[in-house]
A and B are shown apart, each in its own frame.
Chain A
Amino acid sequence: NAGVTQTPKFQVLKTGQSMTLQCAQDMNHEYMSWYRQDPGMGLRLIHYSVGAGITDQGEVPNGYNVSRSTTEDFPLRLLSAAPSQTSVYFCASSYAAGGGNTIYFGEGSWLTVV
């Protein structure tokens, strides 16, 4: 059982470049989300989706786009990378949003913007 799979694991970008972080889950979860992890700040929610065709902004959405064309996939796009976007990115999924639902995380994508 693969769970939540994200690629790439490591990426170096130049300022102004664009890229997409891929995320896929095989648990038939409706809820998917992207977090960024920065030192001393825990995880902050970037965007989330409660089902195919539905996305919404989280706490820190600026500079990122998402789409949810299928239940399984939830890619995160950086439109024009900035050094402030250097971070570790985690994709996550759960059966449903909120309440006592457990969130399952991917292994993370380390992104450096130079």
Chain B
Amino acid sequence: GDSVTQMEGPVTLSEEAFLTINCTYTATGYPSLFWYVQYPGEGLQLLLKATKADDKGSNKGFEATYRKETTSFHLEKGSVQVSDSAVYFCALSDNNNDMRFGAGTRLTVKP
């Protein structure tokens, strides 16, 4: 079945460093891809999404491009801030009644 694999954490960066969190997927169809973020003690919030190949999702300085040829949706940010410390989840959704999540990557940004 469909699945998502994302890089294991935790990831610790200094403020203003470049961030990449890798995400690859396996799907039989043409899924939509998402990045969700979970701040401490809160539920998940949508960060960005892409619904078809070569689409780029972006929000709050984060970007991810839907790469069908490499089945990837890597999350990037050019300059992280302390406030970006959270757990990031890659997810996919096809036309079935299900969304598959990766295991999550914890990011800690130090001043």
Contact = CB atoms under 8 A, between A and B. Distances in A.
Given A43-B44, A90-B43, A105-B43, A98 B89 contact: no
B93 A101 contact: yes
Contact of B43 (A40, A50, A59, A107): A107
Q: How large is the interface on B (under 10, 10 to 19, 20 to 34, 35 or more residues)?
A: 20 to 34
A56 B97 CA distance: 9
Nearest to A44: B101
B106 to A, nearest CB: 10
Q: Which bucket holds chain A's interface residue count?
A: 20 to 34
Contacts of A99: 32, 51, 93-95
A114 B29 CA distance: 42
Interface of A: 4, 31, 35, 40-45, 48, 50, 56, 58-59, 90, 97-108
